[in-house]
Amino acid sequence: MQATAQSLLAFTEGHASGFHTKPAQRAASQASFGSLQTHGAMKIYVIEEAGKVVAGASMFLAGNAVAYLGTAVTQKGLRVRGFHAALIAHRIAQVREQGAVTVAATALANSQSRRNLQRAGLQVSHGQSLYRLLES
pLDDT over 70 (residue 118) = yes
Mean pLDDT of 103-122: 90
Has residue 46 been placed in a domain? yes
Of 43 and 34, which is predicted with more confidence? 43
Does a structural domain hold residue 108? yes
Helix/strand/coil for 122: coil
CATH number of residue 15's parent domain: 3.40.630.30
User: Stretch 114-122: mean pLDDT, rounded?
Assistant: 92
Domain count, the chain: 1
Q: Residue 133: pLDDT above 70? A: yes
| CB contact set of 32 (below 8 Å; sequence gap of 6+) | none
Note down the domain range covering 80. Answer: 5-119
Residue 25 lies in a domain: yes
**Does 13 map to a domain?**
yes
In a domain, 133, yes or no: no
Query: Considering the chain, what is the average pLDDT of its residues?
Result: 80
pLDDT at 129: 77
For the stretch 41-86, pLDDT in tens is: 678 888 888 888 889 888 988 888 899 998 888 888 878 888 999 9
Establish if 95 belongs to a structural domain. Answer: yes
> CA-based angle 88:89:95, to the nearest 5?
90
121: left (phi over 0), alpha (psi -120 to 50) or beta: left
Q: Are strands 66-74 and 52-61 parallel, antiparallel or unpaired?
A: antiparallel
Region of 78 please: left (phi>0), alpha (psi -120 to 50) or beta.
alpha
Whole-structure pTM value = 0.74
Average pLDDT score over residue span 90-116: 90
| Greater pLDDT, 34 or 25 | 25
Q: Is residue 134 situated within a structural domain?
A: no
Is 127 inside any structural domain?
no
Residue 90 or residue 4, greater confidence: 90
